[in-house]
Amino acid sequence: MKTIAILAGDGIGPEVTAEARRILEALNLDITFEEGAIGYAGYVAAGHPLPPATWELAKRADAILFGAVGDPRGDALDRALRPEQAILGLRKQLGLFANLRPATLFPGLEDASALRPEVAREIDMVILRELTGDVYFGEKGLRTTADGKREGYDVMSYNEEEVRRIAVVGFEMAKRRKNKLCSVDKANVLETSQLWRDVVIELSKDYPEVALTHMYVDNAAMQLVRNPGQFDVIVTGNLFGDILSDQASMCAGSIGMLPSASLRAWSGDNGLYEPIHGSAPDIAGQGKANPCATILSAAMLLRHSLDLHDEAARVEAAVSAALKGGARTADLGGTMTTAAMGDAVLAAL
């Protein structure tokens, strides 16, 4: 019997995880679900965005299905108590340094993409985002300059081991796909990026079959909308990967479509699975959220943490079939509610 922790969180988090849970339940697997409070909901329930009971559950579970954290009421709290600290803490403390963010265009979603159909149709990439380093976890704070001005700072750094381990995942993933790896950095300006590039080049000697390219992040942002079909695997740092993946989502139709897996290299232990989007306070509680990104995250959970490859493929096929059948939430130009979209996927399953 496997245990899946469901950490629904805030805003649309509970709405989208409920649909993903229904899909998992329909598969009749030998799993139990345990829910934990997190984010602003964790703060309200237990005085902390990542309450001790939730942390214990996360460590104990075979895998975590995560919704989203973030609430406008949390923005006024001390940094350490803000809802977003919960997801950052989970990633860091569980050592989940490899964040897989696949972006593909499901057939029929051409009209939802921000790109022309013939350009959008070519999208089939994975953005591999480093998840436990970079400016997110460097020294940070607020200080006063000599002449009395307030100054905020966040230190960006990567050591070579951090770069090497994510690059290894990138090369290995490229080998299993189209043998193309694009490393995205800002080596023309940042020391952090120069080391990143040097380490990736050193490692490339072990992967002669993989065609390695390098791209500055500003160019990558442009190329993503000009010709996304050129990318197979993109490997990049925490901040660049965060931004580029939101951008890629609109190439693929909607931010409500992109799932993610956060792993320790290839090990699925304690893997965390979440949509790339946030708690969407603007549509929370209205049944408008697209649950597909979370349902597809559940498929990644089945594949990476439970080794259930056929079931994972079944769930993905069901999402695809529902979309082909015309199922659309508002973000995709339709009128379906979150639950109706879940019903459509369930029916296809």
C-beta closer to ligand NAD: residue 119 or 284: 284
The DSSP code for 156 is -
* 198 catalytic per annotation: no
Considering only 19, 84, 311, 316, the residue that binds ligand NAD (CB under 6 A) is 84
Q: Which amino acid is at 183?
A: S
The β-bridge relationship of strands 259-264 and 267-275 is: antiparallel
Considering only 242, 311, 316, 331, the residue that binds ligand IPM (CB under 6 A) is 242
The β-bridge relationship of strands 98-104 and 259-264 is: antiparallel
**Binding site partner of 38, from ligand IPM, ligand NAD, Mn ion, none, Cβ cut-off 5-8 A by kind:** none
Residues 6+ apart with CB under 8 A from 158: 130, 133, 134, 192, 195, 196, 237
Residue 297 labeled ligand binder:
no
Give the tokens for residue 266: 């290839």
Considering only 274, 301, 304, 305, the residue that binds ligand NAD (CB under 6 A) is 274
* 242 catalytic per annotation: yes
In the complex, minimum distance from the CB of residue 89 to ligand IPM, in angstroms, rounded to a whole number: 10
Give the position of tokens 């490339």: 204
Considering only 279, 297, 305, 320, the residue that binds ligand NAD (CB under 6 A) is 279
In the complex, minimum distance from the CB of residue 295 to ligand NAD, in angstroms, rounded to a whole number: 11
Residue 149 labeled ligand binder:
no
Residues numbered 65-84 forming contacts with ligand IPM, rule: CB under 6 A: 70, 84
The DSSP code for 114 is S
Residue 246 labeled ligand binder:
yes
Catalytic residue among 186, 207, 273, 331, which? 186
* 269 catalytic per annotation: no
**Binding site partner of 62, from ligand IPM, ligand NAD, Mn ion, none, Cβ cut-off 5-8 A by kind:** none
C-beta closer to ligand NAD: residue 283 or 315: 283
Applying CB under 6 A, the span of 26-34, 52-60, 173-181, 282-290 interacting with ligand NAD comes to 282-290
Applying CB under 5 A, the span of 23-31, 54-62, 174-182, 237-245 interacting with Mn ion comes to 237-245
Residue 204 labeled ligand binder:
no
Residue 140 burial (CB count, 10 A): 12
* 343 catalytic per annotation: no
Q: Does 217 bind ligand NAD (CB under 6 A)?
A: no
Q: Where are the alpha helices (DSSP H) in the chain?
A: 13-26, 40-46, 52-60, 84-93, 117-120, 160-176, 191-204, 217-226, 238-251, 292-304, 309-324, 338-348
Contact indicator for 279, 313 with CB cutoff of 8 Å: no
Residue 201 labeled ligand binder:
no
In the complex, minimum distance from the CB of residue 255 to ligand NAD, in angstroms, rounded to a whole number: 5
C-beta closer to ligand IPM: residue 24 or 276: 276
Q: Which amino acid is at 342?
A: G
d(CA 76, CA 82) in angstroms, rounded, equals 8
Q: Does 88 bind ligand IPM (CB under 6 A)?
A: yes
Phi, psi of 144 (to 5 degrees): -115, 130
Q: Does 169 bind ligand NAD (CB under 6 A)?
A: no
Q: Does 134 bind Mn ion (CB under 5 A)?
A: no
Most distant CA atoms of the chain, gap in Å: 65
Encode burial over 93-126: b for 16+ CB neighbours within 10 A, e otherwise: ebbbbbbbbbbbbbebbbebbebeeebbbebbbb
Residue 285 labeled ligand binder:
yes
The DSSP code for 112 is G
d(CA 259, CA 136) in angstroms, rounded, equals 21
d(CA 216, CA 220) in angstroms, rounded, equals 6
Active site residues: 136, 186, 218, 242, 246
Residue numbering of the annotated binding site for Mg(2+) = 218, 242, 246
Residue ranges in contact with ligand NAD by CB under 6 A: 12, 16, 68-70, 84, 87, 255-256, 274, 277-283, 289-290, 293, 331
Residue ranges in contact with ligand IPM by CB under 6 A: 70, 84, 87-88, 242, 276, 278
Residue numbering of the annotated binding site for substrate = 91, 101, 129, 218
